[in-house]
């Protein structure tokens, strides 16, 4: 029998859970957070499963693991964990983890009002605003984001032929805009969009070799973005983001919003400096902005987007993982479906 104990800060970013693990985590080798992510996936994925999946988590759980900085100029590092895997980047979890780390005094930023965070997708810089002891908003500048492919045609059994753009904002997203066979996300239930989102992921991976041109270890599609008409008059767009087989994002999705900003810039629908108010399934919002225009080492045009949102701490928790118990390392109902 082996017993492990983990201390977590619990909270949410614009409605989407963030469970930040701050104690009990494995030490990871590697000179970069991406190398450490690869070691975590190879040797410690049971930690993710135990803390994200049932019975300690649920189908829509998302979180981070808090680590010391890798680089001297950083304030801390993050590893992103959720039900679908260990991701290179997660925007809503970045916003939440920055707010939690500052409010809970886990870190004293080198420069007040600014934090630098090492993540598997690179290094991000964020600015935050305080309202007394609470972090009222976080705005981070994301990794270079770009449109990889446009108008990729796929067939989805329930909808028929769709054309999707595939964009990167820390993760790859097939973006399904309103079109003849898809009138908008507001016309369908979350369960329908979740099921069809799995189909989109499979179809895009079959149709296209999705690989980051500068970082070939980042590859494949594990998300899907369904777009539609926003609820509020002052919002520019709305999205329901699906991650993996079972997760429906309650927030507008930080990396998804970054991908959508990059897509819209590449399409000529946004200009440098423009803001984009992106709404979620539940009406919460992120503000995306084209901060700068750049070119990847591979020569592909890209942008540096920023994403602004809010997060709230809801409590602390201590989790025990006892290897002698049934389902000690977590389970998903999807694993029991043929």
Mean pLDDT is lowest, of 150-154, 180-184, 214-218, 223-227, for 214-218
Q: 110: which residues sit within 8 A by CB, 6+ positions away?
A: 73, 75, 116
User: Is the pLDDT assigned to residue 289 strictly greater than 80?
Assistant: yes
In the chain, where does the domain assigned CATH 3.10.310.10 lie? 3-142+313-336, 146-308
CATH of domain 146-308: 3.10.310.10
User: Is the pLDDT assigned to residue 338 strictly greater than 70?
Assistant: no
Burial (CB < 10 A; 0-12, 13-18, 19+), residue 101, is buried
> Which residue in the list 86, 90, 185, 224 is annotated as catalytic?
90
pLDDT digits (tens, 9 = 90+) for 97-133: 999 999 999 999 989 999 999 999 889 899 999 999 9
16 close to 92: Cβ distance less than 8 angstroms: yes
Give the residue-averaged pLDDT of 258-277.
Answer: 97
User: Is the pLDDT assigned to residue 244 strictly greater than 90?
Assistant: no
Active-site residue 253, yes or no? yes
Query: Model confidence at 281, in pLDDT bands (50, 70, 90)?
Result: very high
* Token reading at 233: 């008059």
> Which residue in the list 8, 185, 224, 253 is annotated as catalytic?
253
User: Is the pLDDT assigned to residue 337 strictly greater than 80?
Assistant: no
User: Is the pLDDT assigned to residue 219 strictly greater than 90?
Assistant: yes
The reply to whether CATH 3.10.310.10 applies to domain 3-142+313-336 is: yes
């Amino acid at each position: 029998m082996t017993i492990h104990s983990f201390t977590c800060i619990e909270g949410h970013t614009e409605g989407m859970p963030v469970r930040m693990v701050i104690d009990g985590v494995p030490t990871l080798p590697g000179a970069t957070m991406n190398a450490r992510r690869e070691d975590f996936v190879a040797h410690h994925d049971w930690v993710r499963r135990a803390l994200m999946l049932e019975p300690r988590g649920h189908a829509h759980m998302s979180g981070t693991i808090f680590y010391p900085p890798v680089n001297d100029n950083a304030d801390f590092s993050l590893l992103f964990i959720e039900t679908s895997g260990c991701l290179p980047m997660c925007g809503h979890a970045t916003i939440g983890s920055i707010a939690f780390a500052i409010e809970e005094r886990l870190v004293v930023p080198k420069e007040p009002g600014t934090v630098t965070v090492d993540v598997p997708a690179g290094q991000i810089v964020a600015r935050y605003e305080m309202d007394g002891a609470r972090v009222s908003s976080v705005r981070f500048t994301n990794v270079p984001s770009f449109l990889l492919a446009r108008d990729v045609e796929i067939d989805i059994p329930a909808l028929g032929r769709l054309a999707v753009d595939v964009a990167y904002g820390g993760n790859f997203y097939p973006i399904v805009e309103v079109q003849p066979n898809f009138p908008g996300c507001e016309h369908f239930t979350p369960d329908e969009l979740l099921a069809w989102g799995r189909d989109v992921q499979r179809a895009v991976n079959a149709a296209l070799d999705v690989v980051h041109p500068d970082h070939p270890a980042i590859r494949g599609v594990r998300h899907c973005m369904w777009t539609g008409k926003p609820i509020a008059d002052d919002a520019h767009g709305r999205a329901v983001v699906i991650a993996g087989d079972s997760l429906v994002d309650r927030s507008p999705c930080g990396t998804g919003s970054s991908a959508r900003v990059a897509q819209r810039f590449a399409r000529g629908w946004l200009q440098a400096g423009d803001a984009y108010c992106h709404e979620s399934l539940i009406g919460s919002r992120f503000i995306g902005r084209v901060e700068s225009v750049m070119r990847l080492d591979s020569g592909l045009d890209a942008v540096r987007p920023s994403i602004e949102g809010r997060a709230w701490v809801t409590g602390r928790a201590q989790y025990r993982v006892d290897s002698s118990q049934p389902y000690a390392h977590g389970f998903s109902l999807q694993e029991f479906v043929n």
